[in-house]
Structure 1
Amino acid sequence: MNNWNPSQFQVPVEEGKSRFHDFDLPNELLHAVADLGFKYCTPIQAEVLGATLQGRDAIGKAQTGTGKTAAFLVATIKQLLETPAPDERYLGEPRALVIAPTRELAMQIHKDAEALTKHTKLHTVMVVGGMDYEKQRQQLQQEYVDILVATPGRLLDYCERRDIHLDLVETMVIDEADRMLDMGFIPQVRRIIRSTPRPGDRQTLLFSATFSEDVLRLGEQWTWNPLKVEIEPDSVATDTVDQKVWIVSTEEKYKILYNLINRHNLERVIVFTNRRDQTRRLAEKLRKDKIRADMLSGDVPQKKRIRTLEDFRAGKLQVLVATDVAGRGIHIDGISHVVNYHLPEDPEDYVHRIGRTGRAGTTGTSVSFACEDDSFLIPTLEELLGDRLSCTRPPEELF
């Protein structure tokens, strides 16, 4: 492990692109970056790393799929490796804290953090609701915690029982702040932040898919002299995803979907619906027709959700039928198609949905069904995307 050196990770200089090499990262961190196959930084990584590696606070606007998780983790890990840990430490006293609104997102961040710290001695722990309380508590007691990834409710439980102390937090990351607001978590997040050192004494990074007045106000309260980074979603939405809108009647939708999956032998597809009951009905129908499908929605218990995502990742499922709340936490490579079985009522959700495909340098296809019930939503979508969507009838063979 120790005999690895950066010369084994050759990345040619390219006009207008930043490489991870350009940021003077510690060898063991660069080694993990090399293992993950990251060569050039995404726009948000380049901008965020430039500032945060010097210890500055940042407020970033970025959709999922822009690489923001790696941006804040790389900055955090470099900081932890280069600043010696305090002499006097207690168990359950993390040096870096990442808060995320949902278990799925927290699990994804934890997985990425473990991959990026694998050549270091840093220890990452996750505490989230819906999973074994005692088991997570034991992990806090086993060894010093360097990076703690948490959902707000469960974290407060441990703080109140004095299993976790936040007075030594050097770096604090608040991910998907807009969703924290939507889900009513802000009072909890406020209490968490009050337990950490003051802004200026800790580094704070806040990310959000949208910059509403509320998000910006929170950002101002929680950070000190922050850099503001905005990565526009239009490039995320349109460059790597071939977007199709098919005009269909409500009755035709299922047949078209079934034929699309079957005729093209699609192996990994996410189908979005707007409501839980629609999700359940559609997944049952697909299963009845011998398609390996399962569903993700707010009323699926946590353990089952994790198993379903793992099966989908492992290729045991072809089709995942999901609602928006469930869909935003899905970060799985190799999803070839996203189908909007129903158009989303909130245009921002459209960008999130289609961002599940065409990730990490690959291209993907999104197919949206527009029928008599929801085609009136198309102009609002076009306004957000800043582009016309081509609306056609589906290819003949799918009928």
Structure 2
Amino acid sequence: MIGKFFRRSTDKPQSAPEGHKATSSGADKAAAPHSGNEAKSGSGRQRNRRRSGKGDSGRSDNSVRKPQAQTPWSLDEFAVPEQEGKVRFHDLDLPLPLMHAIADLGFQYASPIQGQSLPHTLNGHDLVGKAQTGTGKTAAFLITVIDDLLKHPFDGERYAGEARALIIAPTRELVMQIADDAKNLCKYTDLEIHTLVGGMDYQKQQKALNERLVDILVATPGRLLDFVSNRDCFLDQVEFLVIDEADRMLDMGFIPQVRRIVRQTPRKTHRQTMFFSATFTPEVDDLVEQWTAEPVIVEIEPERVATDTVTQHVYLVSGEEKYPLLYNIVQQDDVESLIVFANRRDQCRRLHEHLLAHGINAGLLSGEVAQNKRVRTLEDFKTGKSKVLVATDVAGRGIHIDGISHVVNYTLPEEPEDYVHRIGRTGRAGKSGTSISFACEDDAMRLEPIEALLGNKLKCEVPPETLLVAPPKVEVKYSSGDRGDRDRGGNRGGGRRGGGRPRR
């Protein structure tokens, strides 16, 4: 790495508000004990202390910061009336630049998880939050981090690649979504946000870390470990650790990597930790005990597991009828944008190939698609350039797009919680949406656990004949190595039963 360090002459230490956990910056941080590799000092890291050129401000020439807002702004421009039972962001004593960004985003009242967690996390408490995607948890932890970083700027020398706040998420899409949200909330500050994700150019990410300070680092576990192992990134000065979607990380086998990462950070009594999971199993509870110190527990149960704004259909079909049904649904006039979920990436790939062959502008999101292509695919879908998005659960985890009119479960998920996550992609921001699930003989066994989670029976129906009309015959261009015995639905001949969890 290019081992430069930076000094910000404008950074002045400020006293923490009463009751706030002391941040480990400056002399206090240097004196704080660490565990394992955490006790290494700046010289112990053997970082090249080549000093960068400084401008008149004392700031490194290579660490040019974003300009502050040029026009003055005051809270008078963001009037929000008090409402009984609701928490206003005005009531949380947040810095003015952060409030300005919140006003731009149109946030007036905190969501339930924000309202219950922020009074504790803003005072330095660790947090364990149980909340589904879409409840506002991302803003809850970002507001806490940004508030503290602004109120307690780092006093002293900064090394390249030395993060103050670390957010770990299981998928590249979710990392990018969190980073976008952070940039929106930091638009009137000089805080720097970096992302480290696999599938994208390592040198570009390395160059960004070396040229700009890193205040908030959002990363997937594997790529972060690459940077830590190569000594391009250092975690022993981390003041905030956020672990998002811990249950999903368990499912994906990331926990050994996350353990290695956590061991690189200060001990749990010398950092603030926020831990989020949609479900809590004994394994998740064990991680909470290891990684948090006397946390506040906030559990948000949605008023209904499945939102009232989503109309749910379950169509009973054979395996061969699935693709004709999907094709005809896409042709309907009320379908503005549609996400198709399947359990395996080979299923998604074949569906994508069939849709393209039929002239339908569709994108593909799965673990085997290169990251730069996935970013373009999501952007095309957001802007309406493509009408259909085919995705696995893992790849679709970070999809938060308003205006999606339909969701199709081409195969019912093996985990009931994934059903709720899938249909939650539609019916957002107060709009109505439609979810359609295909249940064939291989999917039927998955209905009962989903109904148990929802708390009600799903009405199963036979699709209208008009939706089962065979699509035009076309020549499908299959990917290399993907030629096999297929039925008309793009499935391999013969149903698969059991066999463990699907590859995604």
Q: State the TM bucket, normalised to the shorter chain.
A: over 0.9
**Conservation of the 8 A alpha-carbon contact between 2:89 and 2:109:** yes
Task: Name the counterpart of 2:394.
Answer: 325
Q: Deviations over 1:117-139 (max 9, x none)?
A: 01001111111122111111111
Q: Residues 390 and 12 (structure 1 numbering): CA distance in 2 closer, same or farther, change over 3 Å? A: farther
Contact 2:307 2:424 in 1 (8 A): no
Determine helix, strand or coil for the equivalent of 1:81.
helix
**Residues in 1 aligned to 2:144 and 2:305: alpha-carbon distance in whole angstroms:** 23
Using a 3 Å threshold, how does the CA distance of structure 1 residues 384 and 294 change in structure 2: closer, same or farther? Answer: same
CA distance, structure 2, for counterparts of residue 358 and residue 236 of structure 1: 13
Is the Cα–Cα contact under 8 Å of residues 330 and 356 in structure 1 kept in the other structure? yes
| Residues 1:341 and 2:428 are matched in the alignment | no
Letter in 2 for 1:366: S
SS in 1 for 2:306: helix
Aligned to 2:325: 256
Letter in 1 for 2:366: S
- Spell out the pairing of 1:20-59 with structure 2 (5 A cutoff): 20-59=89-128
- Which amino acid letter does the alignment assign opposite residue 393 of structure 1? V
**Contact 2:171/2:394 (<8 A) preserved:** no
Q: Which residue is equivalent to 1:212?
A: 281
Displacement after TM superposition at 1:265 (Å):
4.3
Distance 1:361 1:78, change over 3 A: farther
Considering only CA atoms, is the larger Rg found in Structure 1 or Structure 2?
Answer: 2
In the alignment, the residues of structure 2 paired with residue 146 and residue 221 of structure 1 have an alpha-carbon distance, to the nearest angstrom, of: 25
Contact 1:66/1:236, CA 8 A, preserved across alignment: no
Separation in structure 1 between the aligned mates of residue 465 and residue 107 of structure 2, nearest angstrom: 41
2:344 maps to a residue whose letter is: R
1:82 is matched with which residue: 118, 127, 151? 151
* Residue 221 (structure 2) pairs with residue 145 (structure 1): no
Whether the aligned pair in 2 keeps the contact of 1:236 and 1:355 (CA below 8 Å) is no
What secondary structure is seen at the aligned counterpart in 1 of 2:268?
coil
1:101-250 matched pairs, under 5 angstroms: 101-233=170-302, 235-250=304-319
Q: For residue 238 of structure 1, give the secondary structure of its aligned residue in structure 2.
A: coil
More displaced, 52-61 or 135-144? 135-144
Q: Please state whether the residue corresponding to 1:299 is helix, strand or coil.
A: coil
Larger helix proportion of the pair: 1
1:94 aligns with 2:163: yes
Give 1:171 deviation, angstroms.
0.8
Displacement after TM superposition at 1:109 (Å): 0.9
- 1:234, 1:385 within 8 Å by CA — same for their partners in 2? no
Aligned-residue CA RMSD in angstroms? 1.8
Q: Report the Cα distance in structure 1 between the residues aligned to 2:426 and 2:134, rounded to whole angstroms.
A: 9
- What 5-or-longer segments of structure 1 have no aligned partner? none
Cα offset, 1:236, TM superposition: 5.0
Q: Aligned in 2, Cα 1:250/1:188: closer, same or farther, shift over 3 Å?
A: closer
What are the residue-to-residue correspondences of 1:253-292 with 2, within 5 Å?
A: 253-292=322-361
2:87/2:115 contact within 8 Å kept: yes
Q: Which moved more, 1:84-93 or 1:131-140?
A: 84-93
CA–CA distance in 2 between the matches of 1:154 and 1:345?
Answer: 28
Does structure 2 conserve the Cα–Cα contact (< 8 Å) formed by 1:237 and 1:351? yes
> 2:186 is matched by which residue type in structure 1?
T
**How many Å apart are 1:259 and its aligned residue?**
2.4
Residues 1-33 of structure 1, C-alpha deviation per residue, up to 9 Å, x if partnerless? 341112212333333322222222111111111
Q: Which structure 2 segments of 5+ residues have no match? A: 1-68, 469-504
Alpha-carbon distance in 1 for matches of 2:82, 2:378: 37
Counterpart amino acid of 2:75?
A: P
Please tell me whether residue 313 in structure 1 is matched to residue 386 in structure 2. no
Q: In structure 1, what residue type is equivalent to 2:240?
A: T
Whole-Å Cα distance in 2 between the matches of residues 163 and 117 of structure 1? Answer: 24
Moved more, 48-57 or 383-392: 383-392
Identity of aligned residues (%): 64
Amino acid at match of 1:123: E
Tell me which amino acid in the other structure corresponds to 2:362: A
SS in 2 for 1:308: helix
The aligned counterpart of 2:450 is 381
2:122 partner letter: L
Task: Deviation per CA, 1:64-84: give whole Å up to 9, x if none.
Answer: 111111111011100111112
TM (normalized to structure 1)? Answer: 0.95
1:364 aligns with 2:433: yes
- Between 29-38 and 180-189, report the one with greater CA deviation: 180-189
Instruction: Output the CA distance in 1 between the equivalents of 2:430 and 2:92.
Output: 21
TM-aligned CA deviation for residue 251 of structure 1: 3.4
Is the Cα contact below 8 Å between 2:365 and 2:390 reproduced in 1? yes
Number of residue equivalences: 399
- Equivalent position amino acid for 1:307 in 2: R
More deviation, 232-241/211-220: 232-241
Could you tell me whether the CA contact under 8 Å between 1:65 and 1:360 is conserved in 2? no
